[in-house]
Amino acid sequence: MPRLETVQLPVNDAEPQVMHIDLNSCFATVEQQARPLLRGRPIGVTNRKTEYTCVVAASIEAKAQGVKVGMSLHDARILCPDIICVETDPPKYHHVYQILVNIMKSYSPNVIMKSIDEGVIDFKGTTKVINTRSLEAIGYEIKQRLKDEVGTWMRCNVGIAPNRFLAKQAAGLHKPDGLDIIDHHNLRKILKTLKLTDLTGIAERNEARLNSAGILSPLQFLDTPAEVLRRRVFRSVCGEDWYKRLRGWEVDDHEWDTKTVGRQYVLDEMRPTPESVFARLMYLCETTAIKMRYKGLAARGMYVYVRYASGDYWYERRMFKTTFFTNVEVMRRAALLFNRRPLDEYPREIGVSCYALEPSTINQVSLLDEINRDIWLTEAVDRINSEFGEFTITMASSLEAKGIVKQKIPFGSTRYFELLCNRA
């Protein structure tokens, strides 16, 4: 049964209180800020300096020539022969991220960072008490503060709306240095100028779903009743969420718990020996265990997968009776599963993931002396590594992979950003 309040919802006519801030081409802009000779030139930021590496960020100048994020550097060079390849430098981005967070938190305690380069400030409840100015004035002030505190090359988009979705849409309207407001007065006018795929969360497949129901534009999407979206288009509660989202009601304020912790690696050799694959897997296990302890978690489940050169995929997963979080335990359990893999082909990609997470019992003394010794050893090694640098003491089995497998900048979450910067 559709919920009555959803079916009857009008466009939210409340004052816009959500501000979305998005740094444009964040890594590329930070590199241009750091190195003035790169300014005004097309640059692509990559995780490795190889021909077929992926461009993780492209400058505005490169984007103007058709370069897109996710494209291989080889393709980017065909579109833009003058593109300059710069390798990622995580501490630099972390510094800018920290400044951005500090600026945002100075306006409201309710700040949510969506990724490394974008965040949301929720002004609900703070307007009359703390911020007596309009959000537009605050938006322009944030832009200026970013220039003052980081550098003159830094620019950001600001979007203001009644909910997070519309605020993000507003931030994307006038790149690279825009400030836009969407409210109930101009919602229809702005949606009229957009395509379905311009909406965040609507890509080709969702567009096809909407088209099959006769919805061809965002305005038609807005005018579609919730029941049609729920029963015919999305066939789930997502339809109602879209109905509310487009009308300016908040549905995206969920905090998701960490469900899995893991790492993957595309192998650097076309025909790796089993020993070198095993060394890389052990390294992935070690860093996965470090990530788990960083979050104060322990796991019960272990998942290991291998993708082969032919495209075949093999995986093995198992739930254990006891939780684990030490390097040795993660390695031992992963090796147990990994040794069952088929050996017919050369692997191209390996990955390890821990699931069924729960708070770690690292502070609880066990009745079994062996377990205590293992925990104390792990704690001692972690302390030494935090004092003298990551991997000062490390496992011999993963030594071969240390100089080869590198932790790279993640696209989305900032959960392990501090850890990544310590390692960099």
Radius of gyration of the chain (CA): 24
Q: Does 389 help bind another protein (rule: CB under 8 A)? A: yes
Query: CB of 151: closest distance to another protein in angstroms?
Result: 6
Q: What is the CB neighbour count within 10 angstroms for residue 144?
A: 10
Query: CB of 310: closest distance to another protein in angstroms?
Result: 29
CA distance 406 to 179: 37
The CA distances from residue 114 to 20, 74, 109, in Å, are: 10, 30, 15
Closest alpha carbon to 27 in 1, 49, 47: 47
**CA 169 from centroid of its chain's CA atoms:** 18
Q: Does 141 help bind another protein (rule: CB under 8 A)? A: no
Q: Does 336 help bind another protein (rule: CB under 8 A)? A: no
Query: CB of 419: closest distance to another protein in angstroms?
Result: 12
Look up residue 71 and give its amino acid: M
Structure tokens at 128: 């009359």
- H-type helices in 218-258, by residue range? 218-223, 226-228, 238-246
Q: Which is nearer to another protein, 146 or 229 (CB)?
A: 146
Choose the stretch contacting another protein; rule: CB under 8 A; options: 159-167, 243-251, 371-379, 385-393. Answer: 385-393
Q: Does 101 help bind another protein (rule: CB under 8 A)? A: no
Query: CB of 150: closest distance to another protein in angstroms?
Result: 7
Q: Does 422 help bind another protein (rule: CB under 8 A)? A: yes
Binding mask 64-93 for another protein (x = CB under 8 A): -------------xxx-xxxxxx----xx-
Which residue is listed with tokens 């981005």? Answer: 93
Q: Does 149 help bind another protein (rule: CB under 8 A)? A: yes
Which residue is listed with tokens 């305690």? Answer: 109
Q: Does 148 help bind another protein (rule: CB under 8 A)? A: yes
Q: Does 150 help bind another protein (rule: CB under 8 A)? A: yes
Q: Which is nearer to another protein, 96 or 281 (CB)?
A: 96
CA distance 56 to 98: 20
Helix (H) or strand (E) holding 104: helix 90-105
Structure tokens at 212: 């099959």
Structure tokens at 224: 């579609």
Q: Does 266 help bind another protein (rule: CB under 8 A)? A: no
Q: Does 49 help bind another protein (rule: CB under 8 A)? A: yes
b/e burial code for range 335-344 (CB count within 10 A of at least 16 → b): eebbeebeee
Give the count of residues interacting with another protein (CB under 8 A).
38
Binding mask 13-42 for another protein (x = CB under 8 A): -----------------x--xxxxxx--x-
Q: Which is nearer to another protein, 39 or 348 (CB)?
A: 39
Residues that bind another protein (CB under 8 A): 30, 33-38, 41, 49, 51, 77-79, 81-86, 91-92, 94-96, 99, 145, 148-151, 386-389, 392, 421-422, 424
